[in-house]
Amino acid sequence: MTDTEAKAEAVPEDSSGVVGLGVTGVAGYARPAPRDVAKEREVRAGVLGVGDASAHSPGVSGFGETGVIGSGSRFGVLGRGETGVRGETLFSEGVHGVAKATGAGVVGESKDGPGVIASSKSEAGLRAQSDTEVGGVFSSGKAAQIELTPLLADGPDTTAQLPGEGRLGQLAVLSDDAVTCRLYLCVEAREGAPARWAEVRLGDPVQGRTTS
């Protein structure tokens, strides 16, 4: 029997269907991906799955109530690539992180880019809530803790940019020159009527200090 042939035989229900022993236990290739013996020796994995980019075939595919389960002393799943891990779904969470104790459900880190990017076409770009604490905590070592990008008006009447639909507690920053701005708070939101906003009166401007 060559190294590309396999033998199927009946096995007890409580035993493994396939057992592979070696530097890499089992290596699977999706055609037309060529076999890479050097990679098999390099990864030293229990299972190695290799897909083919030209055929858009995955290296490993899992189906079931849970498609893939990964466990490890450091990482359950480690993804490397242009996108390390991608989750897709129609009606639920694309990625769902759960911490059983005090750890964070999801952590995002970056050296030079944003730690987390959140966006939506028709809903809030980001939602955060807590049963007993504040919904969000923002901190920065040198810069401002929160930045609100102003809605730019074409003329001096910046209030023309205030949204007709609003919810109580929403904040809106308006500007007509991209140099100065005003802050407004949604103070009335009646069904079937435009939202009403009140300007938040602030103190005198104070010049910031240059930081190195």
The answer, yes or no, to whether the previous bond of 58 is cis (omega within 30 of 0) is: no
Sorting pLDDT into bands at 50, 70 and 90, what band is 11?
low
Sorting pLDDT into bands at 50, 70 and 90, what band is 60?
confident
Which pair of tokens denotes residue 31?
């055609």
Q: Is pLDDT of 4 > 50?
A: no
Sorting pLDDT into bands at 50, 70 and 90, what band is 9?
low
Beta strands in 23-144 (DSSP E): 26-29, 47-50
Sorting pLDDT into bands at 50, 70 and 90, what band is 81?
confident
Instruction: State residue 61's pLDDT score.
Output: 86
Instruction: State residue 211's pLDDT score.
Output: 66
HSE-CB at 195 with a 13 A cutoff on CA atoms is 21
Sorting pLDDT into bands at 50, 70 and 90, what band is 1?
very low
**For range 62-88, the mean pLDDT:** 84
Sorting pLDDT into bands at 50, 70 and 90, what band is 83?
confident
Angle at 141 between CA 139 and CA 143, to 5 degrees: 85
> What's the rounded Cα separation, in Å, for the pair 133 and 76?
29
Cβ 75 vs Cβ 46: under 8 Å: no
Sorting pLDDT into bands at 50, 70 and 90, what band is 146?
very high
Q: In the beta sheet, which residues pair with residue 52?
A: 57
**For range 20-48, the mean pLDDT:** 90
Of the candidates 1, 53, 11, the residue with the CA atom closest to the CA atom of residue 29: 53
Cβ 31 vs Cβ 52: under 8 Å: yes
Helices (H) and strands (E) in the chain, counts: 1, 6
